[in-house]
Chain A
């Protein structure tokens, strides 16, 4: 995977994960163009599209949030669709029925969960349990530290 973007129906970027080195300027340009392209898609259109020399796999959540992945030509797009689904499941489990606000106000959690699931653009851990265990550990540590150090 080259990058993953999460954005709202209004085109506001909620999460951006870049797995290839790009300058800030390039990132902004790609984001702008791709967001425009995906937002222009009609509901019945296919989840896959070709954009520049990449394949874009996207999924719309609750009609308000778009999850968008860019993969290379030889990558398997069907399984990428399931990567998105899995990530949503993880967020769902953690936040208890995730919505856009969760991702806004707990953006760092969204990133941490993503890092446990994907790393360097590749799938790392597909067990839901294991991913969430790692995240909950952090919360636990915080809990503990609050009790002892405050």
Chain B
């Protein structure tokens, strides 16, 4: 590197030495001393008798600027800088302009002089001088400058004889003035000529003009609407150009990326073009961009992929912008469906990118559903399996997903993949939106069934499964659905799979009791494998070397199950549910399909060394709380492993299946929904001897990469798991309620709602908690009333509950009445945390 400017020779070197001295100063005081010495020197030079020549003036003004940029305040030199403006030496002017743009001074006399100098330079017809002046105005952008020049600049911009470099600067200068003083910029007459700049030969001019137009059209869209077709043709030309066409405007094999991004931004200010030719061109353009995104990269450099992806993201923004515009909520067919068929792998990448950059999962769900809506044909199975996987694993997005697919299915021309995803999601979570009459069970069923005959065999099979799930979720639909299943077109269907499903489901719905049906059709448990199958597919494509970086650590899990506390038989509330936790069911049932490293798994169920000294793993409390109202879910996950639990309870007995899944393994696809990975399952049988408040602890120890890892979790066994729902009539309820009127038998809590106060969700939670939901008991229909019996070996505790919501205040009042004080308190505590 060289610190010397060409052509300035000795002088600069001298200056450099002084500057270096300032830079090299050891202490702040020394630096200030040195600076002050220099300032005094410059001051004297400026005040001196001899008029300074331009060159020296420039030198000292430059030094002053340097000192200012070091962080010291400067209170002189402006006059000299302004003087430099009127020099006809370019470099002197340059320094003058730089000084006054950095050290803006509001002295009116100076402003007058500065504006005068600018005026002269603008009128000089010397392009380099004009640019200097324009840069200055753009850098300072003061009101005074706007007043002086706002009308002059548009003229320069559109004049035929203006040089390209001046046009560029004029456009952006005008933009700056418009941003700070919009009232002073007269656009009217210049509008069409400004738009016409989009056709300019010079790419730099177009680049600057697009920025200007994008800003101006926001206030006056109509005035600038002709820019749309011009922008489209420009974009089209860029996107379809070979890398050699645009020469210096090609950036790492990507043609004019900045301009492309700007044009795509401009198009986002307007609705999709109505003109068929323009629309067609635009579609081709977007297609090309999406195509290119999935082509093998022309360069390994990150600049290449950044530039390509920047364009891709802006294109996707545009597509999403159009989609919103073209698809009114009434469900009219999205015209964009017809516009855009991108090829499969790019959709795959978009899906991965969407997941990677997802800020929250409802955004991700939206994006994937949009993708399906727009490019349904090309959404591969991996993509929609993945969205289902995510929805199933995250209860916070289930209701949203149900609502969104329901709305999406309303569209008359709905892609089959949307029916698949919708069918699956409604089958699992349709109950979350069933409370709204617009999406009642029968409405959901009819909606799905209306698409039935349009779908392929595979989709119809999926829908049949959804129908039987509906029978389970919504008994009122049983009759209607059975009719459908019974119909000839199903049970005599030519396709064996469909026929079989129809017959079996029909039979199942008629003979199975509600309990059995419920068990068979229980909500899908969360998927243990965290690695995206989409990612796995991509990795597979890339070859074995593309595996995760962690798979060299041989996993050696040595899981220890630990009760952690003593069992007692006393009537006081006790911590542990059961001594059976230790030492029973010695043989763990390991699941199949695990890669060799899991063969080192040892499960020591007999160990009773308490290792509860390890604190609870972080984040487990939240997961634990989620299990209060449901029996299946993910209890813990980190980068190494995921622990899921599936549990069942009957009376005072329970069975927990705890499975540990090892993550970050090179996967081979076993089935699309659940990617293979080391998984170990442990079955725990639980007996509740007495009511309890503390959950048992699970401690897992394993070896990973040579170090011993230790995780302690709370087992999701809470006393309400042994809650047996009890139906009763209103008068019975109130009789019992009165019987439990001692103060110690009641626990009450008033709390703020931490989740949206959705009635269906609340009911589902109460049912999940174990209570029966009693209708027509509370005179206020908004309140929830429940009843049940806690079953323990030692005793049974009758419980009554009442939950009163206050939607306006977003609060609840929860009242529990049971025959045992500790139970009332604990249940109240547990339940209040669920809302």
Using a CB–CB distance below 8 Å, which chain A residues touch chain B? 13-16, 19, 21, 76, 78-79, 81-83, 85-86, 95-99, 101-102, 104-109, 111-112, 115, 119-130, 134, 137-139, 141-143, 145-146
Q: Are B168 and A139 in contact (CB under 8 A)?
A: no
| Distance from A16 Cβ to chain B, minimum over Cβ atoms (Å) | 7
Of A76, A112, A126, which one neighbours B94 at CB under 8 angstroms? A112
Kindly name the residue among B208, B256, B314 whose own CB sees the greatest number of chain A CB atoms within 10 A. B208
Kindly name the residue among A83, A96, A129, A145 whose own CB sees the greatest number of chain B CB atoms within 10 A. A145
Kindly name the residue among A102, A137, A142 whose own CB sees the greatest number of chain B CB atoms within 10 A. A142
Give CA–CA (A128, B203) in the complex, Å: 12
Q: Are B7 and A146 in contact (CB under 8 A)?
A: yes
Give CA–CA (A119, B71) in the complex, Å: 24
Of B3, B6, B91, which one neighbours A141 at CB under 8 angstroms? B91
Which residues of B have CB within 8 Å of A19?
176
Give CA–CA (A124, B141) in the complex, Å: 17
Q: Are A82 and B207 in contact (CB under 8 A)?
A: no
- B768 on interface, CB distance cutoff 8 Å: no
Give CA–CA (A145, B91) in the complex, Å: 10
Q: Are B2 and A139 in contact (CB under 8 A)?
A: no
Given contacts A101-B3, A105-B3, A122-B211, contact A127 B258 (CB under 8 A): no
| Distance from B576 Cβ to chain A, minimum over Cβ atoms (Å) | 44
Residue tally, chain B, CB below 8 Å to A = 61
Which residues of B have CB within 8 Å of A81?
306
| Distance from B212 Cβ to chain A, minimum over Cβ atoms (Å) | 8
Q: Are A107 and B211 in contact (CB under 8 A)?
A: no
| Distance from A38 Cβ to chain B, minimum over Cβ atoms (Å) | 18
Given contacts A122-B172, A124-B207, A124-B208, contact A138 B90 (CB under 8 A): yes
Output the nearest chain A residue to B138 by Cβ-Cβ distance.
A120
Given contacts A82-B251, A139-B6, A142-B91, contact A119 B1 (CB under 8 A): no
- CB pairs A–B below 8 angstroms (10 shown): A21-B142, A106-B5, A107-B69, A108-B98, A111-B98, A120-B141, A123-B207, A142-B89, A142-B90, A145-B89
- B180 on interface, CB distance cutoff 8 Å: yes
Which residues of B have CB within 8 Å of A145?
89, 91
Which residues of B have CB within 8 Å of A126?
203-204, 207, 249, 251, 256, 258-259
- B66 on interface, CB distance cutoff 8 Å: yes
- B165 on interface, CB distance cutoff 8 Å: yes
Output the nearest chain B residue to A143 by Cβ-Cβ distance.
B7
Q: Are B128 and A137 in contact (CB under 8 A)?
A: yes
Give CA–CA (A13, B71) in the complex, Å: 8
Q: Are A125 and B314 in contact (CB under 8 A)?
A: no
Given contacts A105-B16, A142-B91, contact A127 B248 (CB under 8 A): yes
Q: Are A85 and B90 in contact (CB under 8 A)?
A: no
Output the nearest chain A residue to B259 by Cβ-Cβ distance.
A126
Q: Are B306 and A82 in contact (CB under 8 A)?
A: yes
Quick one: which of B437-490 are within 8 Å of A by CB? none
Given contacts A111-B98, A138-B94, contact A82 B6 (CB under 8 A): no
Output the nearest chain A residue to B95 by Cβ-Cβ distance.
A108
Q: Are B7 and A105 in contact (CB under 8 A)?
A: no
Q: Are A130 and B65 in contact (CB under 8 A)?
A: no
Give CA–CA (A139, B556) in the complex, Å: 68
Given contacts A106-B3, A108-B62, contact A82 B248 (CB under 8 A): no
- B173 on interface, CB distance cutoff 8 Å: yes
Over the window 802-814 of chain B, the binary record of Cβ atoms lying under 8 Å from chain A Cβ atoms (1 yes, 0 no) is 0000000000000
Give CA–CA (A82, B310) in the complex, Å: 9
Q: Are B261 and A76 in contact (CB under 8 A)?
A: yes
Which residues of A have CB within 8 Å of B172?
119-120, 122, 124
- B139 on interface, CB distance cutoff 8 Å: yes
Over the window 58-69 of chain B, the binary record of Cβ atoms lying under 8 Å from chain A Cβ atoms (1 yes, 0 no) is 000010011001
Q: Are B258 and A79 in contact (CB under 8 A)?
A: yes
Output the nearest chain B residue to A129 by Cβ-Cβ distance.
B248
Q: With A107-B65, A124-B204 given, can you name 15 additional A-B contacts, CB distance below 8 Å?
A: A13-B69, A76-B261, A78-B310, A79-B307, A104-B23, A105-B19, A108-B94, A108-B98, A109-B5, A122-B172, A124-B208, A125-B204, A126-B256, A127-B248, A128-B248
Q: Are A21 and B249 in contact (CB under 8 A)?
A: no
Which residues of B have CB within 8 Å of A137?
90, 128
Q: Are A127 and B249 in contact (CB under 8 A)?
A: yes
Output the nearest chain A residue to B260 by Cβ-Cβ distance.
A79
Give CA–CA (A1, B182) in the complex, Å: 19
